[in-house]
Amino acid sequence: MGLGLRLEKVTPDNVEAAIALKVRPDQERFVSSVVKSLAEAYAQPQPGTAWPRLVYDGDELVGFVMAFFDVRFDPDNPEDRPRSGLWRLNIAEGRQGRGYGTFAVRAVCEEIRRRGRSRLVTVTWEEGEGSPEPFYLSLGFRRTGETSGDQIVGELDLDV
Ligand SMILES: CC(C)(COP(=O)(O)OP(=O)(O)OC[C@H]1O[C@@H](n2cnc3c(N)ncnc32)[C@H](O)[C@@H]1OP(=O)(O)O)[C@@H](O)C(=O)NCCC(=O)NCCS
């Protein structure tokens, strides 16, 4: 892990590099492309719902993370509480296993804590060979027992 590890906003200067960022081909079924995530961020009716950020190590772009704040999985269900968490996490092919994913998750946790509304960090993942499930479990996320579509819902309590 380099010294200059940080998150940066997406800007006109770095957006092309951001879109060119790719996970391994066999991992593409677990995460949307950066371009799709940025389009979804732009299309949110409530500005500020999505928080897309680039992960840099020094001058090198190594990943993309997109958090969400206070969103319901099912907007029509009053029982479904608003949640915050991770919508997307893409660490570049060839740059995985170096702590960048962990850094991005911790940075999102920090942002959720800073905003002060929620102490819970939600993420969903797909099961299967190569699934990120072991990664999230190793960071302390626990399965809630819910699913969102065909995805497993995991949660991390920032107070524990
Ligand atoms: C999952 C992902 C974000 C992890 O990022 P990363 O930078 O490789 O993770 P880190 O280097 O911080 O790894 C932290 C730990 O998790 C482990 N880990 C990471 N990905 C793993 C996986 N797919 N399966 C099992 N363990 C994994 C690492 O070995 C490491 O363990 P260690 O601390 O014992 O060495 C990255 O592999 C990725 O982009 N995958 C493809 C897209 C994806 O699945 N995104 C998540 C969508 S919900």
Atom of ligand 1 nearest to the CA of 27: 41
In this predicted structure, what is the pLDDT of residue 91? 98
Which tokens hold the place of 51? Answer: 């928080």
Report yes or no: 101 and 109 within 8 Å, Cβ to Cβ. Answer: no
Residue 158 has pLDDT above 70, yes or no: yes
Return the number of other C-beta atoms located less than 10 Å from residue 135's C-beta.
Answer: 16
How many whole angstroms separate alpha carbon 106 and alpha carbon 130?
22
Q: In angstroms, what is the span from residue 24 Cα to ligand 1's centroid?
A: 12
Kindly list the protein residues whose Cβ atom lies closer than 6 A to any atom of ligand 1: 23, 27, 30-31, 89-91, 96-102, 125, 130, 132, 134-135, 138
User: From the CA of 131, how far away is ligand 1's center (Å)?
Assistant: 9
Pair of tokens at residue 156: 């991390």
Confidence label for 155 from pLDDT (cuts 50, 70 and 90): very high
Comparing C-alpha atoms, which of 73, 88, 83, 82 is closest to residue 38? Answer: 88
Q: Is the pTM of this model over 0.85?
A: yes
Neighbours of 84 (CB within 10 A): 23
Q: Look at residue 3 in the predicted model and tell me its pLDDT.
A: 59
Q: Which residue, judged by its Cα, is nearest atom 9 of ligand 1?
A: 101
Residue type, 75: P
pLDDT digit string (tens) for 102-128?
A: 999 999 999 999 998 889 999 999 999
Picking from 87, 75, 74, the residue whose alpha carbon sits closest to that of residue 37 is 87
Between the CA of 101 and the centroid of ligand 1 the distance, in Å, is 6
Q: Which domains does the chain have, with CATH numbers?
A: 5-118 (3.40.630.30)
